[in-house]
Amino acid sequence: MKVLFIGDIVGKPGRNALKQGALKLIDKLKIDFVVANAENAAGGFGITKTVGEELFSMGVINVLTSGNHIWDKKEAITYIEEENRLLRPANYPEEVPGRGSIVVTTPGGGKIAVLNISGRVYMNQLDCPFKTAKREIPRLKEHTNAIIVDFHAEATSEKSAFGWFLDGEVSAVIGTHTHVQTADETILPKGTAFITDAGMTGPVNSVIGVNKDLVIKRFLTNIPIRFETAKGASVLSGVVFEIDPQSGKADNIQRLQIKFS
Ligand SMILES: [Fe+2]
Ligand SMILES: [Fe+2]
């Protein structure tokens, strides 16, 4: 089973990169399953029903994950209740709307699970991501050994530790949130695909997706400035890897970055 994981989709440039690139890529690489992080899909901050439906209507994405920006657009609170293919980190308190995992039946009849968890270093202080994973994974394993984890975190050390912690327990631990793709993609010794960060699907000439002039101005002045998503050329970033559906072990992880003018 070949999986494409797409890093944080940022605003319209990100959605355009997907429209231009994803279908061709899926055809060319014979992709069976697609996960994409959508926490910045609506104007760079959060997700709306309209944007979620736009993403799903491309007919490409199976599951959308998210992270700390999930609630930036208020309507996400209701949208996530009606769209079970949109996940929020599983380590939010229990009473928070939405869910942190899903088990999907693929067209071939196999099952694949996606679990979204947030880190805590320089992030919101949610429940322990390590303990959350230990609680959630056995539950998902009742359905399938093929489990993809989106670990939405800031610190490289926390992401690395999380990958090692889950080596052999899940098919993949894919880092998101920093918007900068790392060059450490690997298959860990017990068969888990890992990368610290899948990178961003959004505007190239930007500061992690935001209009660069606004970010520079904020650094220079310390005056709060409303951030806007940058315009112009975009990049589609992510990783592709294979999962053995029986054992859940991964193989052959590759990074990709495709630029569009
Ligand atoms: Fe993000
Ligand atoms: Fe984030």
- pLDDT for position 107: 81
CATH number at residue 63: 3.60.21.10
Helix-strand-coil split of the chain, %, nearest 5: 25, 30, 45
Q: Indicate whether this model's pTM tops 0.95.
A: yes
Ranges under pLDDT 70 in the chain: none
- pLDDT for position 22: 86
- pLDDT for position 136: 98
Helix ranges (H only) for 171-259 are: 212-221
Q: What does the alpha-carbon distance between residue 170 and residue 127 come to, in Å, rounded to a whole number? A: 20
Segments forming the whole domain that contains residue 48: 2-260
Q: Name, in order, each residue with C-beta under 8 angstroms of 53's C-beta and a sequence gap of 6 or more.
A: none
Phi then psi for residue 204, to 5 deg, are -70, -50
Q: Counting ligands in written order, which one lies closest to the CA of residue 70?
A: 2
Give catalytic status of residue 69 as yes or no: yes
pLDDT digits (tens, 9 = 90+) for 119-160: 999 999 999 999 999 999 999 999 999 999 999 999 999 999
Q: Which residues surround ligand 1, an ion (CB under 5 A)?
A: 8, 39-40
Q: Counting ligands in written order, which one lies closest to the CA of residue 153?
A: 2
Q: In the chain, how many domains are there?
A: 1
Tell me how far the alpha carbon of residue 180 lies from the centroid of ligand 2, in angstroms.
12
Which one, of 3, 26, 53, lies nearest residue 185 by Cα?
Answer: 3
Tell me how far the alpha carbon of residue 246 lies from the centroid of ligand 1, in angstroms.
32
Tell me how far the alpha carbon of residue 198 lies from the centroid of ligand 1, in angstroms.
11
